[in-house]
């Protein structure tokens, strides 16, 4: 139990000391990852249009293997 508490304190200190906007944005996204997202009807319609475009070939999709390879290069 002590290890977990120490880790939480250390992470909290690091977050409080962080001034890098990119790092803080990433942390915010990670911490909110489990939240339920609410989308408007126009957003849902846009998602459906993109999905349909990918299915019929009018919108190019990128295979996961390519996305992963590019992400790991960073």
Q: Are residue 15 and residue 31 in the same domain, yes or no?
A: yes
DSSP designation for 36: P
Buried b (16+ CB within 10 A) or exposed e, 40-56: eeeeeeeeeeeeeeeee
pTM of the model: 0.43
Q: Which residue segment(s) compose the domain that 66 sits in?
A: 44-74
32 with 54, same domain: the answer is: no
The pLDDT tens digits for 55-65 are: 999 998 889 99
Same domain, yes or no: 33 and 48: no
Could you give the number of structural domains in the chain? Answer: 2
Please tell me the predicted confidence (pLDDT) of residue 74: 64
């Amino acid at each position: 139990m002590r290890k977990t508490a120490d880790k939480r304190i250390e992470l909290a200190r690091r977050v409080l000391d962080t001034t890098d906007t990119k790092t803080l944005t990433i942390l915010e996204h990670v911490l909110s990852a489990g939240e339920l997202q609410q989308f408007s009807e126009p957003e849902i319609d846009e998602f459906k249009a993109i999905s349909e475009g990918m299915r019929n070939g009018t919108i190019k999709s990128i295979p996961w293997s390519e996305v992963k390879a590019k992400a790991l290069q960073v």
